[in-house]
A and B are shown apart, each in its own frame.
Chain A
Amino acid sequence: MATSTGTVILGIETSCDETSAAVVRGGREVLSNVIHSQIDLHQRYGGVVPELASRRHITTIIPAIDLALEQAGVTRDDIDAIAVTEGPGLAGALLVGVNVAKTLALTWGLPVVPVNHLEGHIYANWLSLPGEDPVPPPAFPLVCLIVSGGHTELVFMRGHGEYELLGRTIDDAAGEAFDKGARILGLGYPGGPAIQRAAEQGRIGRFHFPRAWLGDSYDFSFSGLKTALLREVEKYRRPGPRKRRPKGDQPFLTHEPPEYAPNMPVNDLAADYQDAIVDVLAEKTIRAARETGAATVLIAGGVAANSLLRRRLAGALDIPVRYPPPILCTDNAAMIAGAAYYVQRRGVQAGLDLDAHPQLPLVTATAFTDD
């Protein structure tokens, strides 16, 4: 256990398919970060089934919290506040975390700090993992690209808590585009790493997939790209069922990998598909950084692990391009506990009536200066 001082916050995150609890000191230092992943549970469906995700949280949340305290080497007496993701996310999943967090806060006499999930992703860039040297805090103003299975937003921040939403996806999230592409190509779930692996074996330039630039806007659209891939792939498809109807003890639709002719150029398709996604993400982020005079570009969310995206951004910009270590890119509670430190400094505190907010937007809060 580290010996430095600072507010110790227990974070809880259940917005989608990870049950996570973490202990973070001073908004920077991760003492523990327990993540119960449900990938095994959702794999057969080719994506997250909200009801199944919500059910799993009920049995994993208490063990996750218990382990997070143990691994951090702290007891409840060392905890100063409890942070929880209030949204955005899946309603049935969010409410598990919100209710457990509020109840623990009531029984332990602690404040509850509600955190926007997107804010958590951004603040993952302030964290250092156990045993690692602290990272320097990112310099403001900054542009942050939040890209995951659930979100694609481009945010400008002048300082802590000051968010200006520059753009967002108008249909699929970038991670969702990767998932859907991988499903179409029969590459499995989760799609981001699967497409990246296949693309590394393929060549760019054989297929010309569309880029939705949407004029000068910073918004994104990926549904047309998915349709274009589908059209390309149809040429190779062999007939067969793609979805199995629910039956007996299995009430949810399961995903059956499609069957294709063996000569389908999966790797080349993956390479051009990934290129089309990354192209738009990178171009808009680079333009936003230049137009806002950003001192830093941050990437956050699961798709931040994409190495092509990292290379494109770093190659085009002469300001630091930062992204968290992989374990802090995907959904985790450390980022919630980290962000909560800055949220709490704005004087934000929730009551026992805090509700889950599945559609919670990222809005600018009262600004304050960094120390």
Chain B
Amino acid sequence: MPAEDRLLLAIDTSTEVAGLALYDGATVSELTWNAGRNQTASLLTQIRHLLDINGRDLTEVGAVAVAIGPGTFNGLRVGMSVAKGLCYGLGLPLIGIGTLDTIAYPHVRSRHPIRAVVPAGRGRVVYADYRYRNGRWVRLSDLRNERMDQLADELVEKTIIAGELPAELAARLEESPLVIVPPPALRVRRPAYLAEVAHRRWLEGDTDPLETLEPVYVHGSASTAAAPEPRASTG
């Protein structure tokens, strides 16, 4: 159980848009920036910056959460390496959260099914479907790898599509009567969502093994790593 004043530091380097959040269970401070492929050069500097501008110190951090993907392999490795280094160096618990879970998270109050998407390069996306069932949100599908232009092809009911979508694709999806496309700022992942989902797990003592936690690698047309257990998020 976390001490009341201790902070959770959330790290998300799943894509070229990197994000950090500090969360104490009540107040959240966030930082997102376009890291490109320079996550290694910028991540630790930004962590110190976020602590500094909030007048906090690394010693006040009590847990570290990290986005485990899917995403770019090297990007995920940067976040995972820094998260593991922090947890080992400071003796902190580590909490890994699926990147798609944090993309779906802000849309759960609508009760519409949610399709959470991350870009996978070369015109492809990786996605999973979330649905509200028996009072809980569950992830239905395994991670799927699909051509971007076929993302909405087999939908049968009105579904929210969220994630980093190219503007042109978003515009095209909006024309479909079965698709709800949230505005751009609502579509993208925010580190605050990651922090909130992880903070709940921290309170429950549900943490991950420091040594063996690894990213979710989605390769080619199939998932090569078992998707982590679907996490329920109550709406």
Closest beta carbon of chain B to A274's beta carbon, Å: 37
Do B224 and A95 touch across chains, with their CB atoms under 8 A apart?
A: no
| Given known contacts A59-B212, A355-B40, A92 and B74 CB-to-CB distance under 8 angstroms | yes
| Given known contacts A66-B88, A102-B85, A103-B89, A95 and B74 CB-to-CB distance under 8 angstroms | yes
Do B211 and A352 touch across chains, with their CB atoms under 8 A apart?
A: no
Residues of B within 8 A of A95 (CB): 40, 74, 77-78, 81
Smallest CB gap from B84: residue in A: A62
Do B215 and A58 touch across chains, with their CB atoms under 8 A apart?
A: yes
A51 touches B (CB below 8 Å): yes
Do B45 and A62 touch across chains, with their CB atoms under 8 A apart?
A: no
- Decide if the interface of chain B is mainly helix, strand, loop or mixed: helix
Q: Which residue of A51, A99, A107 is within 8 Å of B43 (Cβ)?
A: A99
Interface residues of B in 114-143 (CB under 8 A from A): none
Residues of B within 8 A of A57 (CB): 77
Residues of A within 8 A of B41 (CB): 353-355
Per-residue B-contact encoding for A79-120, CB less than 8 Å = 1, 0 else: 000000000000110011011111110111000000000000
A55 touches B (CB below 8 Å): yes
Residue among A51, A103, A108 with the highest chain B CB neighbour number at 10 A: A103
Residues of A within 8 A of B40 (CB): 95, 98-99, 354-356
A249 touches B (CB below 8 Å): yes
Residues of A within 8 A of B214 (CB): 55, 58-59
Q: Size range of the interface on A?
A: 35 or more
Do B82 and A103 touch across chains, with their CB atoms under 8 A apart?
A: yes
B217 touches A (CB below 8 Å): yes
Q: Which residue of A76, A91, A107, A351 is within 8 Å of B74 (Cβ)?
A: A91
Smallest CB gap from B217: residue in A: A55
Residues of A within 8 A of B82 (CB): 99-100, 102-103
Q: Size range of the interface on B?
A: 20 to 34
Per-residue B-contact encoding for A53-85, CB less than 8 Å = 1, 0 else: 011011101110110000000001000000000
A248 touches B (CB below 8 Å): yes
Residues of B within 8 A of A99 (CB): 40, 43-44, 77-78, 81-82, 85
Residue among A63, A95, A351 with the highest chain B CB neighbour number at 10 A: A95
Residues of B within 8 A of A107 (CB): 58, 85-86, 89-90
- Decide if the interface of chain A is mainly helix, strand, loop or mixed: helix
| Given known contacts A58-B80, A62-B210, A352-B48, A251 and B38 CB-to-CB distance under 8 angstroms | no
Per-residue A-contact encoding for B170-182, CB less than 8 Å = 1, 0 else: 0000000000000
Closest beta carbon of chain B to A90's beta carbon, Å: 10
Closest beta carbon of chain B to A118's beta carbon, Å: 21
Residues of B within 8 A of A55 (CB): 73, 214-215, 217
For the complex, what is the distance from the CA of A92 to the CA of B81, rounded to whole Å?
Answer: 11
Per-residue B-contact encoding for A268-279, CB less than 8 Å = 1, 0 else: 000000000000
| Given known contacts A95-B74, A352-B45, A100 and B81 CB-to-CB distance under 8 angstroms | yes
Per-residue A-contact encoding for B40-57, CB less than 8 Å = 1, 0 else: 111111001000000000
Residues of B within 8 A of A92 (CB): 73-74, 77
Residues of A within 8 A of B90 (CB): 107
Closest beta carbon of chain B to A122's beta carbon, Å: 25
Q: Which residue of B77, B210, B212, B224 is within 8 Å of A96 (Cβ)?
A: B77
Residues of A within 8 A of B38 (CB): 355
B111 touches A (CB below 8 Å): no
A246 touches B (CB below 8 Å): yes
Smallest CB gap from A64: residue in B: B211
A61-B81, A62-B210, A249-B224 are known contacts; what are 15 more A-B pairs with Cβ within 8 Å? Answer: A51-B73, A54-B74, A55-B73, A55-B217, A59-B211, A92-B73, A99-B40, A101-B85, A103-B86, A104-B89, A106-B58, A107-B58, A107-B89, A248-B222, A353-B45
| A interface residues, Cβ below 8 angstroms from B | 51, 54-55, 57-59, 61-63, 65-66, 76, 91-92, 95-96, 98-104, 106-108, 246, 248-249, 251, 351-356
Chain A to chain B contacts (Cβ below 8 Å), 17 pairs: A58-B80, A58-B84, A58-B214, A59-B212, A61-B81, A62-B88, A62-B210, A96-B81, A99-B40, A99-B82, A106-B48, A106-B58, A107-B89, A249-B224, A351-B45, A352-B45, A353-B42
